[in-house]
Amino acid sequence: MVKIGNIELPDFPLLLAPMEDVSDPPFRRLCKMHGADLMYTEFISSEGLIRDAIKSRQKLDIFDYERPIGIQIFGGDEEAMAMSAKIVETVQPDIVDINFGCPVKKVVCKGAGAGVLKDIDLMVRLTKSVVESTHLPVTVKTRLGWDSDSINIYEVAERLQETGIKALAIHGRTRTQMYKGQANWEPIAKVKANPNIEIPIFGNGDIDSPQKAVEYKERYGVDGVMIGRAAIGYPWIFEQIKHYRETGELLPEPTIVKRMEAAKNHLNWAIDWKGERTGILETRMHYTNYFKGIPNFKPYRTKLVTQDNLVDLMQTFEEIEKEFIPTLEEI
């Protein structure tokens, strides 16, 4: 059993990564249904929360069926981070998570996200300000370092543990890599093997199959894995990993019926949460993966990602059912 503070997780838990414009309530709901053990919200600007920015506040929406659920914040100012942690606490998540890993320029330029990797002392101060401002367990997600010449995750892990964080998720890339190249899990394994490290260590980066998840567990010894891009439009990856780990056998790919059900649920839940127009637009990115590998599907995919009203979308779903379900039902 893995514990984050007083939160008990299964042996080798599967975590859904916090992804901007992806990890919203409709997406998280699907991932929870299919086996995610711990999920995080999209990251939230500490300054946005303090000035009551509408988009930042909306990201605080969490639901009981998601638990355990963590809310992730980012920022480069100690006072703002402490205040935002107190705001987060009011909606009663299970965890407060700090983002020290986002490589996007607009975040890094503000001295936040992966930008803090250049200044470990600042990272420690920011983390300590959050830990001391909340009674909730605090976790951190970060990267190996700024670039290949400054991999500092070994020092970072020990010093953040000293501040009182309860778990650490490490993406196996540097900031300069962004999301390119192959994730390097060797430094993650070294952090986990450090006898001074007592908190759970979760690995992140390139987990896109049940085989790889199990292989990385055995090779690198991490307490669990965090899955990001591989879950977009494919929430089944969590249950597939669990089944493979328990039985050594692969589950069959989801049928067209299951893919349709997931896509329509995602769309309807997004509309319920954000309204019709925003819900439709923000669901589009998921359709390619929902229907990946279906022969002759391109014309329908084009419709799904270009239509902007619910009536037309539902008509397209009906067309897909008539065209594909009779012949691909068992696929």
Which positions are annotated as active-site residues? 102
Give the chain's residues under pLDDT 50.
328-331
CA-closest candidate to residue 254, choices 33, 19, 65: 33
36 within 8 A of 10, measured Cβ to Cβ: no
* pTM for the structure as a whole: 0.91
Instruction: Please give the class, per CATH, of domain 2-247.
Output: alpha beta
Task: Supply the pLDDT for residue 54.
Answer: 61
Task: Supply the pLDDT for residue 273.
Answer: 92
**pLDDT, tens only, 171-208:** 999 887 778 889 999 999 999 999 999 999 999 999 99
User: Residues 6 or more apart from 206 whose CB is under 8 A from it?
Assistant: 172, 182, 183, 212
Task: Supply the pLDDT for residue 23.
Answer: 93
**CA atoms in the 13 A half-sphere facing the CB of 305:** 14
SS3 201: strand
What topology is assigned to 256-324 in CATH?
A: 1.10.1200
Task: Supply the pLDDT for residue 150.
Answer: 83
Pairing of strands 95-100, 138-143: parallel
**pLDDT, tens only, 130-156:** 999 999 999 999 999 888 888 999 999
Task: Supply the pLDDT for residue 92.
Answer: 95
Binding residues for FMN: 72, 141, 171, 228-229
Task: Supply the pLDDT for residue 259.
Answer: 94
User: Residues 6 or more apart from 46 whose CB is under 8 A from it?
Assistant: 73, 74, 75, 77, 80, 81, 83, 84
Q: Which run of H or of E encompasses 171?
A: strand 167-171
Q: Where in the chain is the domain with CATH 3.20.20.70?
A: 2-247
Q: Where in the chain is the domain with CATH 1.10.1200?
A: 256-324
